[in-house]
Amino acid sequence: MSTFNDRERAFESKFAHDADLRFKAEARRNRLLGEWAADLLGKTGDEARSYAMSVVSADFDEPGEEDVFRKVEADLVGHADAATIRAQMAALTTEARRQIADET
């Protein structure tokens, strides 16, 4: 029975670790997306950092990434279309995962 319990604890630990990595990668992606959008909007320095953090915060409105997309899409009217924003989100998801993996 001990082997089963050990395996169960290991599985639960891996699940929690994977969920933590996903959360970190999504937050990193959102920050990178915010930095990209800030650049398109001509924001620099503290203003750009503040904007990027507002994009990260937008992810807490509802489950999934649509809340982030809607915020950035509304802010980038006239600067980028929906397809460009979604493509950037996909590319930055890959980049964020790579960065998180390199850090661990």
Q: Where are the domains of the chain?
A: 25-103
pTM higher than 0.75 for the full model? Answer: yes
The band of 6, judged by pLDDT with boundaries at 50, 70 and 90, is confident
pLDDT tens sequence across 36-50: 999 999 999 999 999
Q: How big is the chain by its Cα radius of gyration, in Å? A: 17
Torsion angle of C-alpha atoms 47, 48, 54, 55, degrees rounded to 10: 160
What is the spatial distance between Cα 29 and Cα 42, in angstroms, rounded to a whole number? Answer: 20
Fold of 25-103: Major Prion Protein (1.10.790)
DSSP assignment letter at 65: S
> Tell me, what's the pLDDT at 66?
94
Picking from 79, 78, 83, 32, the residue whose alpha carbon sits closest to that of residue 53 is 32
Please tell me whether residue 62 adopts helix, strand or coil conformation: coil
**Residue 91, pLDDT above cutoff 60:** yes
